[in-house]
Structure 1
């Protein structure tokens, strides 16, 4: 009888230890709970067009969801409307979403949904810009960024206009097949400086061999390149060929997260 009691006690002890061990494992594998906030800004790389107008009506996201289902959450964009992408260069951007609360975890995708009022101006003539997929389901941008609890994230959506606008064969239709680069402002740096003389249109391009970001100097000669990942860049300063001024190349420009590298005044000569 004593032997039977001892056996039951041993079995009970084993079951208790096993139960608590499984519980501990489960708690360790449970994703962290909490919320994060998201802001979204829209900007553009320079393009060889006079104007590119896009009609922004919504911004949506998928968080912690890699399925093909239509489980998108609207971020309730605050600044919807028609924007000229070519005005959103040189560090200028528009805030589309401001501090929207989402569950922490993985931000899988961002969708930029466009309306019907999209157009491009070439040689003074306005053409409709066809964006059927953007109007129906939105422009999908793969992100896959980890969102930590109680952290605010600002995502920069950077259009590449030259890569995004496609003339469809002999039909003459002009389509928007967007190439958009998404970066996190909190995990990137910036580059700034100024050009003289200021009356020469000048493009500034920075590349680390993987990513390339460019902008034009504004009417005062100033420029800002944002959304640069940390690392060493080569900066190319390209004046308008009609000016006769040579291209300048600046090597080994260091970009750090959360700071702006200042190049100072660049003399075109």
Structure 2
């Protein structure tokens, strides 16, 4: 069970490629017709970052709506719509770059800034033949629990986007669905809410590939930040320890972080990614990265605004800054949707870092100046992410350090 008092990485899963979903276009104020030279095509697929404490997270998307305005209301003109035959998608089968194709639709050339995901309703009396459309299965359990999806079936979930459609060309985009941040336990009620955290990214032919020790792979999350400061994350394969961070924009200074509860954080710095090279390989299966055990301590508190109103849609992130200036995302979670409380369990041991070496061994060394030191960031819709995060220094194993966060619009 996911516990907001602590960070719990997902169990890695085996996966297979998933088939193409047929899609049709329903034009809603500008989706079809006109000069074909001024039309391009939007192609969409879905992938997933890791989930915390779940074996399955199912969603059933029935429509995807696209608009050029970031502020367009659900009933405004100018929407184009992709209707999708109902098919339940297990997000946890889409890690390590695996995609679920959603289809494509013609769009007028231009810049698009909003996408809405419209979900199917959960049946009132689910059966094996008609299961829950949106549900989760807790790790180690076989029972499906319904996901509450407020507004998901009517207005749809609003996603920020910023991509261009060029006449006569295909805009190939991926919806990177972060199940860990998207599923929130509602206090002690036993209920779970779906609040999708989805990044709209380009489908590029780039990736970073590496291996962690298979013995600990099920407890590790691997992440990096792209040039737009978006977190990209995955979980290693539980059998081989292999991980893939895919669809990354070109950059010469990626830092890949490997973190897990009660494990020492490891990082590889200065990793180049280019379209020309395609795949950047960190290491091989014969030289897996091993994360040593570490004692942990907890940071917990409540996220509010200046009026002391709980911000129940906030997300909290714990980062470490290496001596070389690289930022490591060690743990993150959404707050409790009733109280806005959070809790993150963080390792006390100093992180280990190694510079990337092409075709060479990774040589790790402890960054002792960083041991136990964390910056705690809070963010929420309509509020500014803190430019200077509250800093904490953790020293005592199993201790709890209170740290409330106050955000400003």
1:220 to 214, 220, 240: 240
Question: What is the CA–CA distance in structure 2 between the aligned matches of 1:205 and 1:184, rounded to whole Å?
Answer: 18
Shifted more, 62-71 versus 137-146: the winner is 62-71
Equivalent residue runs for 1:120-139 within 5 Å: 120-123=136-139, 124=141, 125-139=143-157
Residue segments in structure 2 that go unaligned for 5+ positions in a row? 1-36, 122-132, 291-409
**SS where residue 217 of structure 1 aligns?**
coil
1:30 corresponds in structure 2 to none
1:260 corresponds in structure 2 to 279
Evaluate the alpha carbon distance shift between residue 121 and residue 70 of structure 1 in structure 2; reply closer, same or farther with a 3 A threshold.
Answer: farther
2:82 to 75, 78, 83: 75
1:92 to 79, 88, 98: 98
TM-score (norm 2): 0.51
Question: What is the CA–CA distance in structure 1 between the aligned matches of 2:243 and 2:254, rounded to whole Å?
Answer: 16
> Runs ≥4 in structure 1, deviation > 6 angstroms?
none
Aligned length: 231
Shifted more, 248-257 versus 152-161: the winner is 248-257
Residue segments in structure 1 that go unaligned for 5+ positions in a row? 1-32
Task: Check the 8 A contact 1:43/1:89 in 2, yes or no.
Answer: yes
Task: Check the 8 A contact 1:200/1:239 in 2, yes or no.
Answer: no
Equivalent residue runs for 1:1-269 within 5 Å: 34-48=38-52, 49-63=54-68, 67-68=72-73, 69=76, 71-77=78-84, 80-98=86-104, 100-116=105-121, 117-123=133-139, 124=141, 125-186=143-204, 189-195=206-212, 197-201=213-217, 202-208=220-226, 210-218=229-237, 219-231=239-251, 232-238=253-259, 241=262, 246-257=264-275, 259-265=278-284, 266-269=287-290
Question: What is the CA–CA distance in structure 2 between the aligned matches of 1:237 and 1:64, rounded to whole Å?
Answer: 37
Taking only aligned residues, the RMSD between alpha carbons, in angstroms, comes to 2.7
**SS where residue 175 of structure 1 aligns?**
strand
Name whichever structure is richer in helix by fraction.
Answer: 1
Question: What is the CA–CA distance in structure 2 between the aligned matches of 1:171 and 1:215, rounded to whole Å?
Answer: 29
Give CA deviations for 1:4-62 in whole Å, capped at 9, x if unaligned. xxxxxxxxxxxxxxxxxxxxxxxxxxxxx611111111111111112111112122212
Superposed displacement of residue 185, structure 1:
1.5
Superposed displacement of residue 122, structure 1:
1.8
Task: Check the 8 A contact 1:36/1:102 in 2, yes or no.
Answer: yes
Higher relative contact order (Cα pairs below 8 Å, separated by 6+ residues): 1
Superposed displacement of residue 92, structure 1:
0.9
Task: Check the 8 A contact 1:200/1:240 in 2, yes or no.
Answer: no
**SS where residue 90 of structure 1 aligns?**
coil
Question: What is the CA–CA distance in structure 1 between the aligned matches of 2:281 and 2:182, rounded to whole Å?
Answer: 30
**SS where residue 155 of structure 1 aligns?**
strand
Give CA deviations for 1:141-193 in whole Å, capped at 9, x if unaligned. 1213222222211111111222211223454431111111111124x732123
Question: What is the CA–CA distance in structure 2 between the aligned matches of 1:119 and 1:254, rounded to whole Å?
Answer: 38
TM-score (norm 1): 0.75
Superposed displacement of residue 204, structure 1:
1.9
Task: Check the 8 A contact 1:76/1:97 in 2, yes or no.
Answer: no
Task: Check the 8 A contact 2:65/2:79 in 1, yes or no.
Answer: yes
Shifted more, 40-49 versus 140-149: the winner is 140-149
Task: Check the 8 A contact 2:46/2:174 in 1, yes or no.
Answer: yes
Question: What is the CA–CA distance in structure 1 between the aligned matches of 2:179 and 2:115, rounded to whole Å?
Answer: 18
Shifted more, 110-119 versus 60-69: the winner is 60-69
Question: What is the CA–CA distance in structure 2 between the aligned matches of 1:64 and 1:236, rounded to whole Å?
Answer: 35
Name whichever structure is richer in strand by fraction.
Answer: 1
Q: Which has the larger radius of gyration?
A: 1
